[in-house]
Structures are given as structure tokens and as C-alpha cells.
């Protein structure tokens, strides 16, 4: 578990460490801040917002570390998407910032008061981390656009201080200087209490300092801001268990498992932790005596099923600990699973629609664990006749269908999950993943685009899913057309991070390059005319790959020189042919 937390934490540090301090040291550049017109609310006059934004751009331009995106550049980029600058609300502003490689975006709005004054609200957004910094509300007089801009500008300095403190916190954490790390995280959070990744890092620092109660309290704050923060749920569950708060630990892990229903390792560890609390096999033996006397007692069967599932988890955990590799489900665990299934199915026969949803889910999960997929599908169909409004059952039912090779039915089942629970965290992504695995990337992209439209936060993950398929089945197999098509689809997702776009541009350009090298081999007039624009396209794409080539040990300068040579060769062939 600790290994997984360390791996995930590296992703958090990647966000925190790339702050102003680090980047300025690297490139001596200035960060771009996209400042659109302030958004008028209600019947507020537009002129105030336009003038105030211009004042603020002038002020930001006085900084050594930041510079505003020029107004004409914003207009030009918005026009590419059939938008006017006046159309830029907060979401569109952040999306446009990503397109323009602006690291920071301002979202500002205002209302007009009866006395002709203006009340302004604003927040700065870090595009990479997707976290915001709220500016305190201000009310200014009728002609005081400059005062509003000055207020925001003055508090922008607090934002810069917060990002810098968070980055220093990450630096100290990486070097295991816990006290220094904690002090700087505290400074960052004092400036921006809603900086959730910094808050999670603070919880991790407290854990490393073995201040477990304080760490758990901090992680609860993280989950208060984001109830689906997977790393916080995992670490909180681990700490609660270490602190002998088994019930609380099970609650955290249960919430995590809802986000990751297929995580067998977590399931086994949770089962092991629960086994330490008692003797589930002994409890089964005790309940069996009552069942032998009253085989129609549904309450006894319900208790027996619960204990049997615990015993199955315990047996499988012990088998896994003693195995050198993945040996599958042990015979002992299989037996307990079948007893648990039998017990809960009797509960279903007795209670019908009143059967707790948890029992139904357990039966489906057990059948899937045993790889008895036909039985899982049959029971799932019966369960959905009485519990058809339960998205969790549809989700497990979809898993069974997919594993049985009935993909289209599985996709339809996940559509039902999304109808019942539009905010389900994984249904759309699973649909996309299954379609990709089935060799249907075009359909996967359609599903994932729909998912991203409903939840823009999933754009990054969706883009990586499409890219991974294109890279593995396309580039690595030298099927460059497949790679180019897939990467092109991946780049169509909105609001992708700068890092991912650099990676996509690199492999897009490199795939175009490799394909063109093969195509130009005849060195005829036809091949030259066909490949010349492709070599030029590859050069353009590779030029947009940022620092990514260095991360895969590619000398971009050498590659571009080679491309230039190919361009010259094709041009010479074309000239000769004319």
C-alpha cells in the first residue's frame, strides 16, 4: 500500500514542484496570465468590465514574473472557436488558456448596484493543477475601474506567494525535511485554504512525522473539498487501521473501492484486516447449527452469508501471501464463496425486492471472482428485475457481460449506469477502455468525448487512454497510420495539460516522420510530392513538443536536422522532375 501511495505522491509533487520558483530558474521567462473582459452579471454595463480588465493587464505587465496575454491575441484565439471575447465565461476562459499555453487565468465578474457602484468577484486559476485562488470581494464607485484592478493586482501577489510556498513545500518533502516542508505548506494554505493538493501533501507530511491523528484530520479536510480524492481515501484508510479505528478504516476503503471496483489487492488487504477482528469460520459453524434446525430462517442465512464472505476473503489472503505468483483463487476460498452465494441467494428468495443491495452486489462480485460468468449474468438479470434502479448492480452486471465477451450488452449496461447516476466516476471511462481493448478506438473516442463534455476533469485521463492505445498498437507495431489517427483523436479532447499536449505532439510528429521515411524510399517525383508536406508537418509538430523529447532521451535537434535533410532531398527531386 505504501508503495502505491509513494507512486501517486510523485504525481502530486509534479504539480507542486513546477511552480514559479522552479520554472523561472529554468527558463528565466514570464508566466502568461489570460485576463478576459470581466463578466457582467444581470444588466450590468459591459464597459466597466472591459476597462477594468485593460487596467489589470497593464498592472500585471509591470511584474518581472508574469505578463498578460495581449487583448488582440485573446480575441484572435477566441475567434478560432467562433467566440467573441465577450463570450468568455470562466469555463471558456480556462479552456482557452490551455489552448494558448497560458499558465494562469483570471475569472472575474461583477454586478451593478443601485447607487451606480460595482461589486467585483474574481479568482485566479492555475491551469496545470486546476486549483483556484479566490480574490476578496470589493465594491468600487462608478468610475473606479482602476481601483478594482488595483485590488485584484495586490492580491495576485498573495497568489504568487502561495504557489511559491507550495513549491518549496514540495522541494522540502522530496528531501525529507519534514519540519521545513510543513512550515511552507502551512504558509501556502494560510494564503489559499482551498489548495487541495497542498493540503493532501500536508497530510502526507504529518503521516511521515508519525503524527497520525493530525494526519487523519488533515485528510478529512481534503475529502471535505473532494470526496473522490483517491489518494486521500487510501492513506486515511491505512492510518485509521493502524490507529485501531477499523470501522473508520473500512469506511474510507469502502469509498475508495466504489471508485476502483476491480482493485483486487485492496480488497484482499481489507478482507485480511477484517479477519483480524474475529473468527469468521467459527461464526459460520455456529450459524450452521441454527440453519440445520430452521432452514427457512432468512435472518440466519443472511448472517451466514456475511460470515462466509469474510471467510472467503481471509482464505484467499492467506493463499496469496503464500504464493510466489498469481495462482488465482484458492480451492478453500472458492468453497467459501460458493457457500456465501448460496446463502445470499436464499435471502433473495425470501426477501425479493427487500433484499439489501449490498447482498446482491456481493453475489455478483463473487460469481465474477470465480469466473462463473454465465451464472453472474443469469443472477444479474434476476436481480435487476427487482433492483433495476440500482446503478451499482448494473455496473457489476456490465463487468460480467464484458468478461464473457458480450461487449455491446456490457456497453448498454454502463449506459444504464450513467442514466441512473450521471456523476458515476468510472462508467464512461470503462466504456471507453473496453472499446479500446476490443479494437474499436473510434467508438471509444465518441464515448469519451461525451464523458468529457459532462465532466471536463476526465479529459486528461480520456486523452491518455486513446494515446496509450495509439502508441502500443500503432507506433510500437510500426502501424504509423493507426498511431497518427489515434493521437489525432486524443488531441481533440479539450483542456489537456501542457505536458500531455507536448507528449502527443512529439509522438504525432515522430509517427508522421517515420511513416514519411518509409514512403519516400522510391525517391520518385510522386513519392517526393507526397512526403514533402509530411516531413514539414512532422517538423512543425516536433517543434511543439516542449521539453518532452528529453524525457525519452531523444535529441530533438538531431531529429530536426534529419528532417531538414529529407525536406531538401524531396525538394531536389521535385525540382529535377519539373
Contact of 239 with 219, CB cutoff 8 Å: yes
Q: Are residues 48 and 147 in the same domain?
A: yes
Check whether residue 504 and residue 488 sit in a common domain. no
Instruction: Return all residues near 493 (Cβ < 8 A) that are at least 6 apart.
Output: 448, 449, 452, 459, 460, 462, 463, 466
Residue-wise pLDDT tens digits, 511-558 = 999 999 999 999 999 999 999 999 999 999 999 999 999 999 999 999
The angle at the Cα of 457, spanning 451 to 459, to the nearest 5 degrees, equals 60
Domain span at residue 563 reads 500-578
Q: How many residues make up the chain in this entry? A: 578
Same domain, 505 and 461: no
CA distance 573 to 578: 9
Same domain for 478 and 524?
no
* pLDDT for position 17: 46
DSSP 69: P
CATH at 471: 1.25.40
Cβ count within 10 A of residue 293: 9
Average pLDDT over residues 2-30: 46
User: Which three-class secondary structure string do you get for 456-472?
Assistant: HHHHHHHHHHHHHHHHH
Domain boundary among 130, 165, 200: 165
How many structural domains are present in the chain?
3
Q: Which residues pair with 123 in a beta bridge?
A: 107, 134
| 29 in the same domain as 55 | yes
Q: Is residue 33 part of a domain?
A: yes
Residue 37 reports pLDDT greater than 60? yes
Same domain? For 23 and 109 the reply is: yes
For residue 116, what is the DSSP state? S
Note whether residue 101 is domain-resident.
yes
Same domain, 27 and 159: yes
User: Assign residue 523 a region: left if phi > 0, alpha if psi is -120 to 50, beta otherwise?
Assistant: left
Mean pLDDT on 12-27: 41
Whether the predicted pLDDT of 15 surpasses 60: no
For 220-265, how does the pLDDT look when each residue is reduced to its tens digit (9 = 90+)?
999 998 898 989 988 998 888 778 786 787 688 778 767 765 443 4
Quote the CA–CA distance of 73 and 80 in Å, as a whole number.
Answer: 11
127 falls within a domain: yes
On whether both 35 and 85 belong to a single domain, the answer is yes
Q: Which residue, among 490, 492, 493, 486, has the nearest Cα to 512 in the 3D structure?
A: 486
Judgement on whether residues 479 and 529 belong to the same structural domain of the protein? no
Q: Which residue has the cell 501511495?
A: 5
pLDDT in tens, 100-119: 999 999 999 999 999 989 99
**Residue 34's CATH number:** 3.40.50.10070
Amino acid at each position: 500500500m505504501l508503495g502505491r501511495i509513494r507512486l501517486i505522491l510523485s504525481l502530486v509533487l509534479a504539480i507542486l514542484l513546477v511552480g514559479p520558483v522552479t520554472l523561472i530558474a529554468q527558463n528565466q521567462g514570464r508566466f502568461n496570465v489570460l485576463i478576459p473582459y470581466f463578466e457582467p452579471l444581470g444588466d450590468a454595463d459591459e464597459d466597466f468590465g472591459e476597462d477594468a480588465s485593460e487596467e489589470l493587464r497593464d498592472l500585471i505587465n509591470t511584474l518581472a514574473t508574469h505578463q498578460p496575454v495581449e487583448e488582440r491575441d485573446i480575441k484572435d484565439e477566441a475567434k478560432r472557436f467562433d467566440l467573441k471575447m465577450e463570450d468568455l465565461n470562466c469555463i471558456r476562459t480556462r479552456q482557452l488558456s490551455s489552448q494558448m499555453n497560458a499558465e494562469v487565468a483570471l475569472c472575474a465578474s461583477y454586478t451593478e448596484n443601485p447607487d451606480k457602484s460595482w461589486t467585483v468577484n474574481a479568482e485566479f486559476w492555475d491551469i496545470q493543477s486546476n486549483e483556484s485562488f479566490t480574490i476578496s470581494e470589493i465594491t468600487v464607485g462608478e468610475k473606479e475601474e482602476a481601483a478594482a484592478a488595483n485590488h485584484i493586482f495586490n492580491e495576485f501577489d498573495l497568489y504568487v506567494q502561495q504557489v511559491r510556498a507550495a513549491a518549496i513545500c514540495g522541494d522540502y518533502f522530496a528531501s525529507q525535511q519534514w519540519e521545513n516542508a510543513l512550515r511552507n505548506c502551512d504558509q501556502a494554505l494560510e494564503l489559499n485554504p482551498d489548495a487541495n493538493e497542498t493540503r493532501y501533501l500536508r497530510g502526507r507530511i504529518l503521516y511521515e512525522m508519525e503524527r497520525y491523528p493530525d494526519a487523519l484530520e488533515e485528510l478529512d479536510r481534503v475529502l471535505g473539498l473532494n470526496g473522490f480524492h483517491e489518494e486521500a481515501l487510501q492513506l486515511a484508510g491505512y492510518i485509521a487501521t493502524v490507529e485501531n479505528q477499523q470501522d473508520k478504516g473500512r469506511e474510507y476503503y469502502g469509498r475508495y473501492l466504489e471508485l476502483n471496483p476491480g482493485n483486487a489487492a485492496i480488497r484482499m488487504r481489507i478482507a485480511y484486516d477484517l479477519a483480524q477482528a474475529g473468527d469468521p469460520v467459527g461464526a459460520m459453524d455456529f450459524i450452521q447449527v441454527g440453519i440445520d434446525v430452521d432452514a427457512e430462517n432468512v435472518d440466519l442465512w443472511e448472517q451466514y452469508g456475511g460470515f462466509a464472505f469474510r471467510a472467503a476473503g481471509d482464505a484467499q489472503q492467506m493463499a496469496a501471501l503464500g504464493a510466489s505468483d498469481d495462482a488465482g483463487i484458492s480451492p478453500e476460498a472458492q468453497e467459501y464463496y460458493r457457500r456465501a452465494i448460496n446463502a445470499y441467494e436464499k435471502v433473495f428468495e425470501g426477501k425479493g425486492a427487500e433484499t439489501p443491495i449490498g447482498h446482491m452486489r456481493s453475489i455478483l462480485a463473487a460469481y465474477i471472482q470465480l469466473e462463473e460468468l454465465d451464472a453472474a449474468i443469469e443472477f444479474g438479470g434476476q436481480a435487476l428485475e427487482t433492483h433495476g434502479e440500482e446503478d451499482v448492480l448494473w455496473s457489476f452486471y456490465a463487468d460480467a457481460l464484458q468478461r464473457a465477451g458480450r461487449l455491446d450488452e456490457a456497453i448498454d449496461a454502463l449506459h444504464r449506469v450513467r442514466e441512473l447516476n450521471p456523476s458515476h466516476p468510472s462508467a464512461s471511462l470503462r466504456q471507453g477502455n473496453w472499446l479500446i481493448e476490443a479494437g474499436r478506438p473510434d467508438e471509444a473516442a465518441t464515448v469519451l468525448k461525451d464523458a468529457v463534455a459532462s465532466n471536463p476533469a476526465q479529459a486528461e485521463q480520456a486523452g491518455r487512454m486513446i494515446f496509450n492505445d495509439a502508441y502500443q498498437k500503432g507506433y510500437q507495431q510500426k502501424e504509423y497510420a493507426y498511431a497518427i489517427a489515434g493521437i489525432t483523436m486524443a488531441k481533440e479532447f479539450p483542456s489537456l495539460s501542457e505536458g500531455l499536449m507536448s507528449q502527443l505532439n512529439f509522438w504525432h510528429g515522430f509517427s508522421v516522420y517515420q511513416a514519411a521515411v518509409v514512403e519516400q524510399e522510391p525517391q520518385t517525383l510522386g513519392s517526393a510530392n507526397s512526403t514533402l508536406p509530411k516531413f514539414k508537418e512532422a517538423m512543425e509538430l516536433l517543434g511543439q513538443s516542449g521539453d518532452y523529447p528529453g524525457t525519452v532521451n531523444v535529441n530533438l535537434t538531431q531529429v530536426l536536422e534529419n528532417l531538414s535533410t529529407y525536406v531538401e532531398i524531396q525538394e531536389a527531386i521535385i525540382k529535377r522532375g519539373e
